[in-house]
Amino acid sequence: MSPRRWRSIPSLPLQIFIITVLPLTALLMLITFGSLGLHQRAMRTMVGERDERATRAAAAAITEQMTHRLSAIRSVALRAANAAAGPEHALTDAAYLLSDFEGGIALFAANGELMAASNAPEIWLARAVAERLRELPNPSAAADAFFLPVFVDPVQGEELVLVVARAGEITAVGAFSPTSLARRALANIFGGNDQATAYMVTPDGVVLYQTGTPPWVDLPVQEYPGVADALRGESGTTYLTIDGEEHVIAFSPITPVGWALVFEEPWRAVTDPLLRTTELAPLILIPVLVIALVALWFGVRQVVQPLQSLEKKATELGWGDFDAIEEPVGGINEIQRLQTELVHMARKVQLAQQSLRGYLGAVTTGQEEERRRLARELHDDTIQSLIALNQQIQLAQMSAQDESNRDRLATMQQMAEQTVADLRRLTRNLRPIYLEDLGLIPALDMLAQEMGRALDLPISFEAAGQERRLPPDVELVLYRIAQEGLNNVARHAQANRADVYLTFTAEAMCLTVRDDGQGFVIPESPAEMAPSGHFGLLGIQERAEAIGARLHIQSAAGAGTELVVCLPQA
């Protein structure tokens, strides 16, 4: 901002707000919200990486359990094929594996006949395991251990997975619940967050395990975020905004069976409460702003406003209102002491001005007396002599025989008459006889007419209110003020017209001189009038103070000037 533009800001509180409160607030907001943004980005990345690692770990744990079951059934099949004691003895030796196979373990012959089972044979018949084994495409070419597709157990009504292993003529089959497996594997990984959801899905869209309710429960399972990626064998993390809150979705495949494991949660819910509390850091701006505004309010109320009031009263003091400075402005002690010093200074200045006013009054009185004497001598001596000379020229003109002489005498007569007229106007300016004989209103009316004719400028005069006579010295001062005001209009205003008003009210009498000229910048105090060349205004100010009147000036560039002198009614 340029210095000129900065100085054009009139309000100190606004300047304080611009140079202190506003930059500090902007800096605090930048630091706070920038730190908050970096913090949130770091937390978002951290939660995404954490969930991805946890999902991969959970998928690896489930895969490990699935591989363990494959190995266990394979060992059962090998024992049953090599045991001389028979299939029942092989199942007895594998009793320690029953904790991994909630649905039991069974041994089948090559023709599909149930040879032995760890639980009731009717359960295996109800499951139609023999039929499932016979439906395998090429049993001889099949792997020695594999998983069959998930099916619903007709006995218990829950999903089961069959693990099949062949060894010679013996087929070992184990049944376990994928839901129980997932629950045990994920309990220690995804626990403790009631806003999180985890689900394990088969390629057919069967949800084997689910905790919580995902936000997209209305969609088909295959369209759940992350499911399709995990079913393709991919692992990773994605983010999705739901109802204005961003969720992190981590997914990973369970390779032995081609299942998908997906974990979803609002990432903000994962952060530590203390860390989440740091997100409220922008709220610190509220007390900061409140404190700044309170400090600014205190400064405005206790410093700025009292200083502005004191400045205004000092300006009024400069224009001669000595009572204005004595009204308390309040504020801090330093301002009050400053006002006290200004009051003492004003009293000293008032006493000095009263002494100076007496001196100036005597000087002015002497000037006016000298003007009267000069006007009287011009009128009684010079003008009368010129009138007598004019008469002699007229007589000489009547007796002249030569035409050229008569023309010269006629020219001399005109010059004498013009000189008499000029001297009479000069004597009226030196001694306003209309003011002495008729009063202020006729004198101002004649002044407006004569100066209008002399300046070729329309000047009107108007009086309003109940006319009353004033002391001669006061009327003379007001006349001189009007005279000087019109002279200023003639010299500086470049006006098209001027008006003079004299208004009488019960409280005061006001003299107004107004023009429609180019205007000017009003000095802030009378002390600046002389350095800026406004000697006419300075004289008007001094004359007004001499009679106890107040001077008011209103002017603006291109808007003319109005000069008002108000004399309170005694």
Question: Of the given ranges (199-208, 432-441, 483-492, 558-567), which has the lowest mean pLDDT?
Answer: 432-441
pLDDT band with cut points at 50, 70 and 90 for residue 6? very low
User: Which stretches within 319-439 are classed as H helix?
Assistant: 333-377, 384-399, 403-430, 433-437
pLDDT at 4: 44
pLDDT at 362: 65
Exposure letters 390-412 (e unless 16+ CB within 10 A, then b) = beebeeebeeeeeeeeeeebeeb
Position 429 pLDDT exceeds 70:
no
- CA within 13 Å, CB half, 76: 33
Position 109 pLDDT exceeds 80:
yes
Position 278 pLDDT exceeds 70:
no
Question: pLDDT tens digits for 135-151?
Answer: 776 554 444 788 988 98
List the beta strands (DSSP E) in 188-328.
197-201, 207-211, 236-242, 245-254, 259-266
Does residue 554 contact residue 542 with C-beta atoms inside 8 Å?
A: no
What's the mean pLDDT when you consider all of the chain? 79
Q: Copy the structure tokens of residue 67.
A: 């591989």
C-alpha 193/C-alpha 268 separation (Å) is 11
Strands 114-117 and 145-147: unpaired
Q: What distance lies between CA 99 and its chain's CA centroid?
A: 69
Position 26 pLDDT exceeds 70:
yes
Question: Of the given ranges (236-240, 244-248, 290-294), which has the lowest mean pLDDT?
Answer: 290-294
Domain ranges of the chain: 10-279, 317-431, 437-570
CA trace torsion 302, 305, 310, 313 (10° rounding) = -150
List the beta strands (DSSP E) in 101-235.
104-108, 114-117, 145-147, 151-152, 159-167, 170-176, 197-201, 207-211
pLDDT band with cut points at 50, 70 and 90 for residue 369? low
Position 416 pLDDT exceeds 50:
yes
| CATH class in words for 437-570 | alpha beta
Q: Copy the structure tokens of residue 124.
A: 């295996």
C-alpha 143/C-alpha 73 separation (Å) is 13
C-alpha 180/C-alpha 160 separation (Å) is 10
- CA within 13 Å, CB half, 10: 1
3-class SS at 332?
Answer: coil
Q: What is the mean pLDDT of residues 503-529?
A: 82
Of 361, 309, 324, 321, residue with least CA distance to 550? 321
Give me the residues paired with residue 164 across strands. 146, 173
pLDDT band with cut points at 50, 70 and 90 for residue 356? low
Does the pTM exceed 0.75? no
pLDDT band with cut points at 50, 70 and 90 for residue 326? confident
Return the higher-pLDDT residue of 34 and 121: 121
Which residues, in sequence order, are CB contacts of 554 under 8 Å at separation 6+?
522, 561, 562, 564
Q: With pLDDT > 70 as the criterion, what percentage of the chain qualifies?
A: 79
Q: What is the mean pLDDT of residues 368-377?
A: 69
pLDDT band with cut points at 50, 70 and 90 for residue 511? very high
What string of DSSP letters covers 76-127?
HHHHHHH-SS-HHHHHHHTGGGTTT-TTEEEEE-TTS-EEEESS-HHHHHHH
Does residue 504 contact residue 465 with C-beta atoms inside 8 Å?
A: yes
* Encoded amino acid at 300, one letter: V
Q: What is the mean pLDDT of residues 565-570?
A: 83
Q: What is the mean pLDDT of residues 501-515?
A: 90
Question: Of the given ranges (28-42, 223-237, 257-271, 464-478), which has the lowest mean pLDDT?
Answer: 28-42
C-alpha 77/C-alpha 45 separation (Å) is 48
pLDDT at 493: 81
Exposure letters 112-124 (e unless 16+ CB within 10 A, then b) = eebbbbbbeeebb
Mean pLDDT: which of 39-53, 118-132, 352-366 is highest? 118-132
Position 7 pLDDT exceeds 50:
no
pLDDT band with cut points at 50, 70 and 90 for residue 298? confident
Of 63, 40, 47, 42, residue with least CA distance to 237? 47
pLDDT band with cut points at 50, 70 and 90 for residue 164? very high
Q: What is the mean pLDDT of residues 429-457?
A: 79
